[in-house]
Amino acid sequence: MCFHFQQQKGAAAFQQRGLSGTPIRGTFTGFSHPQVCVLTAAHPTQLDPFQWGLIPHWAKTRDIQKYTLNAKWETLQEKPSFRKAKRCLVPADGFFEWQWQDPKGKQKQKFKVGLAAEELFMFAGLWDTWLDRETGEIMNSFALVTTAAAGIMREIHNSKLRMPLVLTPNEEAAWLAGELVNPFKNFEARPV
The secondary structure of 3-25 as a DSSP string is -EEEE---HHHHHHTT-BS----
Contact by Cβ (8 Å): 92, 170: no
The answer to whether residue 190 is domain-embedded is no
Give the pLDDT confidence score for residue 175 in this predicted structure: 96
H-type helices in 19-176, by residue range? 80-83, 152-156, 172-176
Amino acid at 45: T
pLDDT digits (tens, 9 = 90+) for 12-34: 999 999 999 999 999 999 999 99
Q: Does residue 176 register a pLDDT over 80? A: yes
Give the pLDDT confidence score for residue 62 in this predicted structure: 94
Reported for 45-50, long-range contacts at CB under 8 A and 24+ positions apart, including other chains, are: 45/18, 45/19, 45/20, 46/19, 46/20, 46/21, 47/14, 47/19, 47/20, 47/21, 47/22, 47/23, 47/91, 48/21, 48/140, 49/24, 50/88, 50/127, 50/140, 50/141, 50/142
Give the pLDDT confidence score for residue 188 in this predicted structure: 83
The answer to whether residue 191 is domain-embedded is no
pLDDT digits (tens, 9 = 90+) for 154-172: 889 888 899 999 999 999 9
- Indicate the pLDDT class of residue 111, thresholds 50, 70 and 90: very high
Give the pLDDT confidence score for residue 160 in this predicted structure: 87
The answer to whether residue 110 is domain-embedded is no
* Count of structural domains, the chain: 1
**CATH code for the domain of 143:** 3.90.1680.10
Q: Does residue 64 register a pLDDT over 80? A: yes
Cβ neighbours around 175 below 10 Å, total: 21
Q: Report the pLDDT averaged over residues 59-84.
A: 95
Give the pLDDT confidence score for residue 53 in this predicted structure: 98
Measured CA distances, 35 to 23, 28, 54 (Å):
11, 9, 12
Give the pLDDT confidence score for residue 113 in this predicted structure: 94
The answer to whether residue 121 is domain-embedded is yes
**Domain span at residue 8?**
4-95+116-185
Handedness of CA 4, 93, 87, 1 (dihedral sign): negative
**% of the chain beyond a pLDDT of 70:** 99
The answer to whether residue 106 is domain-embedded is no
Q: Report the pLDDT averaged over residues 71-80.
A: 94
The answer to whether residue 159 is domain-embedded is yes
What's the burial of 8, exposed, middle or buried (CB within 10 Å: 0-12/13-18/19+)?
middle
Mean of per-residue pLDDT scores for the chain? 94
Q: Does residue 183 register a pLDDT over 90? A: no
Give the pLDDT confidence score for residue 75 in this predicted structure: 94
Give the pLDDT confidence score for residue 136 in this predicted structure: 95
pLDDT digits (tens, 9 = 90+) for 115-148: 988 899 999 999 999 999 999 999 999 999 999 9
b/e burial code for range 91-105 (CB count within 10 A of at least 16 → b): bbbbbbbbbbeeeee
